[in-house]
Amino acid sequence: MLSTKGLEFSYTNGDAMVFPDIHLESKSNLLVLGPSGCGKTTLLHLICGFLNPQKGSIHINNENFGALSVSKKDAFRGKHIGVVFQQAKHFSGMNCLEHLEYASYFSGRKNKSDENRQLLNQLGLEASLKQQASSLSQGQLQRLNIAMALINKPLLILADEPTAALDDTNCERVIELLKEQAQATEAALLIITHDQRLKSQFQNQLSL
Amino acid sequence: MKLIRLAIKQLRSRWLNSFLSIILLAFGVGIILLMTRFNEQYKAQMTNNLNGVDMVAGAKGSPLQLILSALFHADLPTGNVSLEDARKLIKHPFVKEGLTLSYGDNYEGFRIVGTEHAYIEWLKGNLKEGQLWNGKMEAVVGAELASIKNLNVGDEIVSAHGLVAGGDVHNENPYRITGILEANGSVLDRLILTATESIWAAHEGHDHAVEEEVTAVLVRFRSPVGFIQLPQFVSKQTNMQAALPKIELAQLYESLGVGIQTINGIAWLIMLVSGLSVFVSLYLSFKERKKELAFMRVFGASRTQMTVLVLLQSVFIAIIGFLLGMIFAVIGSNILTKLISERFPVHLNWFSFGRMELGIFFAVLLIALFAAILPAIQAFRVNISNTLRNA
């Protein structure tokens, strides 16, 4: 599903970062652990196609993703990759349902409104369907972001420190959700974190 | 469709900025439309109100004043001339038709004009009720005046000396109204017409010995030769001056044109400032929107979509601003018509959409698109990695 080989990247003013190869099958999970500043986010941005690798390759679903053009990467990401960030984000002036509507619209996928409702229900947002996202609590917003990452039924779900801002209860809940939903949509799940609380929850682990 | 909805959502989330840009644009558009419309229509309508009068003769003074007072009843008369001089001119072989006007009195601010029945024909007026004057101290009133002062056939009115209300009242000689004219958009609507003799009669015993005088002579030429011959005849053979309306009005339009051009210049400046405001609004809000744009890209939104999104917002401001400007122009021409119709028989059209409006619309669109170029390029070039890292 996902395989990286000899990935290297350096910012203009820094040393080259060399990343270990990653192999991830469909429906499997991987936890990438590392202290802050070791290039975790850089690795995630490479796999998402926000950055171009300077050396090495990234293959996703047998596509040489790392070598695609910017616009092809945008389109591929929209269809096949779901991303959850540490800081939950929202679009201004939109309610929860509209967020899912636009997440599908941007990916070029046909959207069904009952699918949106169903997903929001599963994530415990059934009471906030028409609520402006700007007025959600941090935990609710994080769940909305997870819904947005899942709505297009991606092959690969990437999460960057999804639990860093959450307390223990919410942390466990979010990880459960991610695993559950990844399983439900048969997606591969890659979580990048320095959060040691997650160690016990994943069998496959990789340290940077 | 979804992108259009998104553009509107984003405009609404910055409604104060959007509102400012729209209002500025609307003011610019409104003023330009109003001024251009005014410029075209008052010229057309004033020229229309000449009713074939080729020359006006009257007491010496400003020729423009003579024209404005005799044709539009909008200025003070230059003075009086002798009936003998007036008759001499009307009998000239180059004159096809001519008639005299005697004015200088008013009824509560509305002008009383002594003339012949032909004057009503010249101005294409028709009786609505009653009949034309027959003898002395009988009068016909215009439709607008009749409705403002609630005058009916058979009523009596008392004239006063001068052209504004509150002069010496000619109490001893009231006019009896014999007819009311239909409204036809000409100066007739606001005039009181009577026989020339009535004006003289009103002044009898007031100015003591009343000479037989008139205020102006309106002339239609038999042939274009009149334009060369008759003004010379008037200045050499009579104690009057001649004024050619077409030439005087052309000069008036020219001097008014300078003012209109100045106002138009200011209006274009307002529109440019609006363009600047669109630019500043899009540019300054870019920092916040940058995060949203990067977030949209995460879900597969293309760089082209993001660019179009910015351009769409600018186009919306242009369209709404233009439409609001049209509404401003309609309100403005309504007010302007009310203000000037008391002095000039000009009625502006409220609404029109022609080549000029289309041209201004495209100019507005161009300004808005120009203002959006840089923000649109920024939207195209958003660096997702950097933006998300700093978010």
**Residue B333 pLDDT:** 86
Q: Where does a domain end: B220, B243, B266?
A: B243
Which residues of chain B does A89 touch, with a Cβ-Cβ cutoff of 8 Å?
Answer: 291-292, 295, 391
Q: Are the beta carbons of A78 and B292 separated by less than 8 Å?
A: no
| Mean pLDDT, range B37-52, rounded to an integer | 81
Whole-Å CA distances, B217 to B46, B196, B315, B344: 19, 12, 58, 20
Helix then strand count (H, E) for chain B reads 13, 13
Q: Which residues contact B289 (CB under 8 A, 6 or more apart)?
A: B10, B379
The answer to the question of residue B369 being in a domain is yes
Q: Are the beta carbons of B9 and A92 separated by less than 8 Å?
A: yes
Residues 279-338 of B with CB under 8 A from A: 288, 291-292, 295-305
Q: DSSP of B292-307, one letter per residue? A: HHHHHHHTT--HHHHH
Same domain, B164 and B121: yes
Select from A71, A92, A106 the Cβ nearest to the Cβ of B10: A92
The Cα–Cα gap between B85 and B45 comes to 31
Residue B211's domain comprises: 55-243
Same domain, B32 and B87: no
The answer to the question of residue B156 being in a domain is yes
Q: Which range has the worst mean pLDDT, B81-85, B271-275, B350-354?
A: B350-354
The answer to the question of residue B140 being in a domain is yes
Q: Which residues of A87-126 are buried (b: 16+ CB within 10 A; e: fewer)?
A: ebbbbbbbbbbbbbbbbbbbbebebeeeebbebbebbebe
Q: Are the beta carbons of A87 and B391 separated by less than 8 Å?
A: yes
Nearest chain A Cα distance for residue B312, angstroms: 17
Same domain, B183 and B228: yes
Nearest one of B361, B365, B378, B362 to B310, comparing CA atoms: B378
**Residue B164 pLDDT:** 72
The Cα–Cα gap between A159 and A148 comes to 12
Interface pTM, i.e. ipTM: 0.93
Using pLDDT thresholds of 50, 70 and 90, give the confidence band for residue B109: confident
Same domain, B68 and B207: yes
pLDDT digits (tens, 9 = 90+) for B219-264: 999 999 899 999 999 999 999 999 999 999 888 888 888 888 898 8
**From the CB of residue A129, how many other CB atoms can be counted at a distance below 10 Å?**
15
Q: Where does a domain end: B213, B243, B273?
A: B243
Take residue B284 and report the two structure tokens written for it.
């300054």
Nearest chain B Cα distance for residue A26, angstroms: 21
pLDDT digits (tens, 9 = 90+) for B155-203: 999 888 877 776 677 777 889 999 999 988 788 988 999 999 988 888 7
Select from B2, B6, B299 the Cβ nearest to the Cβ of A107: B299
Same domain, B141 and B88: yes
Q: How many domains does chain B have?
A: 2
Nearest chain A Cα distance for residue B8, angstroms: 10
Select from B291, B300, B385 the Cβ nearest to the Cβ of A51: B385
Same domain, B231 and B268: no
Residues 371-390 of B with CB under 8 A from A: 384-385, 388-389
Q: How many CB pairs under 8 A join A and B?
A: 70
Same domain, B39 and B75: no
**Residue B194 pLDDT:** 95
The Cα–Cα gap between B123 and B76 comes to 21
Start-to-end C-alpha separation, chain B: 29
Which residues of chain A does B305 touch, with a Cβ-Cβ cutoff of 8 Å?
Answer: 106
Quote the pTM value: 0.78
